[in-house]
Amino acid sequence: MIAKHQAFFVAASIQILVFACAGAPISLFNVYRAQDGLSHSDLGWVSLAYFIAAALALLVFGRLSNHLGRKPMAVAALLCVLLSCVTMIAKQTSLALLIARALQGFACGVAASSVGAYVTDLGSYRRKSWVALITSCAPMIGIPLGAVSCALLVNYAPAPKLLIYTLIATVAVMLLGLLLQCEETVQRKGNVRSALTPDFYMPKAALRPFVTLSAVVVATWSIGGFYQAFGPEIVATALGSDNALISALAFSSVMVLTPLGGALAGRFVAQRAIGVAMLILVTALMVIACALYFGWLEVFLAASLSVGIAQGVASSAGMSVLMADISREHRAGMLASVYMVSYLGAVLPALVASIAANYVGVFTLFCGYAVLAGITALIALLSCTLHSANRAEPSKPT
């Protein structure tokens, strides 16, 4: 049996690998478009399938680990990763890519809720900021890792469409073997059917921090969804480069520094950190719009890196406040609620963008995303301000 402190790193690695698998195909989008005849609209629908599958996994299976255990759900996530890799190795068509992305989305939904709860259980003896960093930033660590690794293979290795999935599948098998030796952290319960009933877990005391964190994740995940669906096209058309590594770096730039922002969040008061981060986000989005309009690659990358830092600060600060008083049996449900809002924040704009991509260019699409992110960032700012004011208000004498 693996020791508890080692099992924490196994669970965290599983969560990151699942999202790395989801990030890998993004660097191949231009290859699929050139070699397999996929259109921009096809890629938009493929990304939408990923987000819908993740949202469904969170909505329906988010609390299942409370009944079956954390380990079985982590096993399910790894098996979905393996099946998606086999699908992409066997055939590279639009249907195969859509099926593989749906499997990856389902795995991400399970990882965000059940594996995230497993990380929280196993990390209970560590600093809260560590656990908040992993649970809030795992997608922003894993997805860029997968995208950049795949881009390097596209540029410098043979058969990149096969090699990247073979490597991911190999790591998944290794982690599966380690997972089977880890301890379970919850006792299995009956009444599994009730866990499959779609439900949002929301204690009254957590409503205000949930609203704040929801606004943060919609603002940041919507922009991440834009980069995921249209990142290669941004580089190819707006910034004038067809290099796969440049495309991966451009896509990853919006999230690669998120862990750094998450680490910085623990050094400041949570409400103040969220407020400053949202101001940075709005400023960075305006700079990105200018960079796309004028074709400034370096400015685009710098502003996108700023978005990643802002996202890390705000998400980790918001997650630490939200999860502070959530009991073990409700952690998976709470995380599922958070990530459900996150994926909806990516799904709904992606649906509109997939249709609009046939009629407008990436600059116009980005402007629409930026307006949405600006509005939700403003909501997060107002929520933080009200929360801070309520906490500072002295209690009335009785």
Q: Could you read off the pLDDT of 17-52 as tens digits, one per residue?
A: 999 999 898 888 778 877 877 776 777 788 788 888
- Residues 379/204, Cβ–Cβ less than 8 Å: no
Alpha helix (H) residue ranges in the chain: 4-23, 29-35, 40-61, 65-68, 70-90, 94-110, 116-122, 128-156, 160-179, 192-195, 207-233, 244-253, 258-265, 270-294, 297-322, 328-356, 362-392
Q: Examine residue 28 and state whether it is found in any structural domain, yes or no.
A: yes
Q: Examine residue 95 and state whether it is found in any structural domain, yes or no.
A: yes
> Low-confidence residues of the chain, pLDDT below 70?
40, 124-129, 190-203, 205, 232, 241-242, 325, 328-329, 332, 386-398
Q: Examine residue 386 and state whether it is found in any structural domain, yes or no.
A: yes
Supply angle C-alpha 223, 229, 231, rounded to 5.
80
Which positions ≥6 away from 128 have C-beta within 8 Å?
A: 320, 323, 324
Nearest CA to 30 out of 225, 236, 226 is that of 236
Instruction: Say what the pLDDT of residue 21 is.
Output: 95
Residue 137 to residue 221: CA distance in whole angstroms:
11
Structural domains in the chain (count) = 1
CA-atom Rg of the chain in angstroms:
20
Instruction: Say what the pLDDT of residue 284 is.
Output: 95
Q: Examine residue 52 and state whether it is found in any structural domain, yes or no.
A: yes
Q: Examine residue 175 and state whether it is found in any structural domain, yes or no.
A: yes
Instruction: Say what the pLDDT of residue 268 is.
Output: 77
Q: Examine residue 197 and state whether it is found in any structural domain, yes or no.
A: no
> C-alpha dihedral over 68, 70, 72, 73, to 10 degrees?
100
Q: Which structural domain range is residue 104 located in?
A: 4-183+204-392
**Chain Cα centroid distance, residue 129:** 18
Q: How many CB atoms lie within 10 A of CB 211?
A: 18
Instruction: Say what the pLDDT of residue 201 is.
Output: 59
CATH of the domain at 119: 1.20.1250.20
Instruction: Say what the pLDDT of residue 397 is.
Output: 45
Instruction: Say what the pLDDT of residue 330 is.
Output: 72
Residue 394 to residue 300: CA distance in whole angstroms:
45
DSSP 125: T
Supply angle C-alpha 247, 253, 257, rounded to 5.
150
Task: Give the CA distances from residue 227 to residues 72, 145, 357, in Å, rounded to whole numbers and listed in that order.
Answer: 32, 15, 14
Q: Examine residue 193 and state whether it is found in any structural domain, yes or no.
A: no
Instruction: Say what the pLDDT of residue 332 is.
Output: 67
Return the percentage of the chain with pLDDT > 90, whole number: 26
Q: Examine residue 117 and state whether it is found in any structural domain, yes or no.
A: yes
